[in-house]
Amino acid sequence: MLLFKKDRPQGPYDVVVIGSGLGGMTAANMLGRQGHKVLLLEAHNKLGGLATWFRRPDGKIFDISLHGFPAGMIKTCRRYWNADIANRIVRIKKVRFKNPQFDLETDFTEEDYKRILHEKFGLSSQVAQGFFDALREMNFYDRPETTIGELFNNFFPGRNDIVRFLLEPITYANGSTLEDPAIAYGIVFSNFMNKGVYIFQGGTDLMIELMKTELLKNGVDIKLHSEVEKILIENGKVVGVQAGGETIGSRAVVSNAHLLSTIFKLVGPEHFSPDFQKTSEQVRPNTSSCQVYMGLKQGESIPYMGDLIFCSKARQFSTEMLLNPAIEGQTFSFYYPEMRPHREQTYAVVSSSNARYEDWANLSSEIYQKRKQHLIDRALADLEELVPGVGRKIDFAEAATPLTLERFTRHPMGASFGTKFEGLEASKKLSEEIAGLYHAGSVGIIMSGWLGAANYGAIQSHAVNTYLSLQEGVSHDTIS
């Protein structure tokens, strides 16, 4: 049931899910489907978390995080959502790189990458094949200590151009750096290389609407505008949450809020063992993002340019360059009207760049506005180089910064992809520390992005289901 602002959730619940990002929604959907009494509480005025969009009065619509995900999302949506949602996932046709080292196009499959490595970068076919074989052999549980930088150095010593070709898209995708574990890169890159890059035909708004319908069909109670202030713990066990000053009893809680907010704000460090507190203090939030949303006037068009263009001016590639506030690199996502065949849509282009929160926090409002304008100017100038004449067709340009992300998601430091790699271990250990407490949401490089978050939500729903089943027949300390 969809609860309105004035409605009081009728607890106690089996599970309260805090936050409706793809991790939270997928966990809620699975638990609802399994017959549990589930309440999904979202602080914002719509579902989706970072899987979101915004509209402007003249009908322009912009997607925030619909740039591309691996083919695995089709299976995930079919299993944990429904066939209608899965069937709307389509492959994008063309990805382009434009930088001082190379300008090329690819369909982002392993075959095409191997061809380009050989034909354009002069690499022997054996070395290219060896690299992809090494990625395939990587196993998450082996946990080798090799970093991404070392992996590249083993296969392509001194080849900054090849590193750029292989890493730039993944760095844009989830903020990975050369210092991150190679295993994390290997899994994400192999996932993409499996069958190319996909998006949701119809846009984020349609996908979230279909997911909402499915949640309600599975009996999940949903309440928007409902920020959870506390997860309530008694005798080392979850007993409910406090939202809007009211207490709602539940046997288990799945938090889709950022992992660090979950531990340090919603629960409070005093409820955890000293060892776990120490582990959690070492978890780093992931980096953040800036975006510029550009909309074309009604009736104006641009030719098909490809769907994603990784564009940068830096002569050499470094992950630092992608974070630089001077915006040395940005990714352009092109949205053509065919993307939303069910509604009238003008052409839209969204530029994304990685960003550090500290470069944007604590600025005077004058400097902040100037920096935002710089983002917009830079995006328009770079886009003009790609599509000459586009500037006079654009009648809307607006920028978002790490502060925007922080405001809309409550994620510390506006983190775009949850935490760095070490977050996954802390997230998985929550239920060993406090009975009935689970976290589902972007953690590490693997469990992030649309696919990672949704899959992690499903994994955690199984753990919650097992916990609840073991509790059956036992009397519970829930608050009604």
Ligand X SMILES: Cc1cc2nc3c(=O)[nH]c(=O)nc-3n(C[C@H](O)[C@H](O)[C@H](O)COP(=O)(O)OP(=O)(O)OC[C@H]3O[C@@H](n4cnc5c(N)ncnc54)[C@H](O)[C@@H]3O)c2cc1C
Find the binder of ligand X among 72, 196, 418, 436 (CB under 6 A): 418
Find the binder of ligand X among 71, 232, 257, 379 (CB under 6 A): 257
Task: Using the structure block, give the residue that is written with the tokens 């994994």.
Answer: 459
Does 191 sit near ligand X (CB under 6 A)? no
Q: Which one of 13-21, 83-91, 156-164, 317-325 is the stretch in contact with ligand X (CB under 6 A)?
A: 13-21
Query: Hey, what are 49's tokens?
Result: 């978390």
Find the binder of ligand X among 9, 16, 20, 200 (CB under 6 A): 20
Does 88 sit near ligand X (CB under 6 A)? no
Q: Which is nearer to ligand X, 117 or 340 (CB)?
A: 340
Residue count of the chain: 480
Q: Which one of 62-70, 116-124, 135-143, 371-379 is the stretch in contact with ligand X (CB under 6 A)?
A: 62-70
Cβ at position 157, least distance to ligand X in Å: 31
Find the binder of ligand X among 18, 61, 263, 458 (CB under 6 A): 18
Cβ at position 19, least distance to ligand X in Å: 2
Task: Using the structure block, give the residue that is written with the tokens 């992030």.
Answer: 448
Cis, bond preceding 12 (omega within 30 deg of 0): yes
Q: Which is nearer to ligand X, 150 or 227 (CB)?
A: 227
Q: Which ranges of 175-285 does DSSP label H, i.e. alpha helix?
A: 182-195, 203-217, 259-261, 274-281
User: For residue 147, what is the DSSP state?
Assistant: B
Buried/exposed 6-18: b ≥16 CB within 10 Å, e otherwise: eeebebbbbbbbb
Query: Hey, what are 239's tokens?
Result: 């007993």
Find the binder of ligand X among 3, 33, 65, 200 (CB under 6 A): 65
Does 398 sit near ligand X (CB under 6 A)? no
Euclidean distance between CA atoms 121 and 158, whole angstroms: 13
User: For residue 181, what is the DSSP state?
Assistant: B
By Cβ distance, which residue is nearest to ligand X?
Answer: 21
Q: Which is nearer to ligand X, 20 or 147 (CB)?
A: 20
User: For residue 176, what is the DSSP state?
Assistant: -
Exposed, middle or buried by CB within 10 Å (0-12, 13-18, 19+), for 400? Answer: buried
Query: Hey, what are 332's tokens?
Result: 């352009």
Find the binder of ligand X among 9, 12, 23, 202 (CB under 6 A): 23
Give the per-residue contact string, 428-457, with ligand X (x = CB under 6 A; - = no).
-------------xx-----xxxx-x----
Find the binder of ligand X among 9, 11, 32, 49 (CB under 6 A): 49
Does 355 sit near ligand X (CB under 6 A)? no
Q: Which one of 21-29, 185-193, 298-306, 465-473 is the stretch in contact with ligand X (CB under 6 A)?
A: 21-29
Q: Which is nearer to ligand X, 101 or 291 (CB)?
A: 291
For residue 34, give the amino acid letter. Answer: Q
- Binding residues with ligand X: total (CB under 6 A): 39
For residue 99, give the amino acid letter. Answer: N
For residue 332, give the amino acid letter. Answer: F
Full DSSP string of 323-364: H-TT--EEEEEEE-GGGSTTS----EEEEEEEE-GGGTTT--
Separation of CA 89 from chain center = 17
Cβ at position 134, least distance to ligand X in Å: 24
Q: Which one of 35-43, 146-154, 272-280, 390-398 is the stretch in contact with ligand X (CB under 6 A)?
A: 35-43
Find the binder of ligand X among 24, 196, 249, 295 (CB under 6 A): 24
Q: What are the φ/ψ torsions at residue 372 (nearest 5 degrees)?
A: -65, -40
Does 335 sit near ligand X (CB under 6 A)? no
Query: Hey, what are 21's tokens?
Result: 């990002």
Does 231 sit near ligand X (CB under 6 A)? no
Cβ neighbours around 332 below 10 Å, total:
25
Q: Which one of 6-14, 42-50, 182-190, 429-437 is the stretch in contact with ligand X (CB under 6 A)?
A: 42-50
Question: What is the CB-side half-sphere exposure of residue 243 using CA atoms within 13 A?
Answer: 27
Give contact residues for ligand X (rule: CB under 6 A).
18-24, 41-44, 49-51, 64-65, 67-69, 227-228, 256-257, 289, 291, 352, 405, 409-410, 416-418, 441-442, 448-451, 453
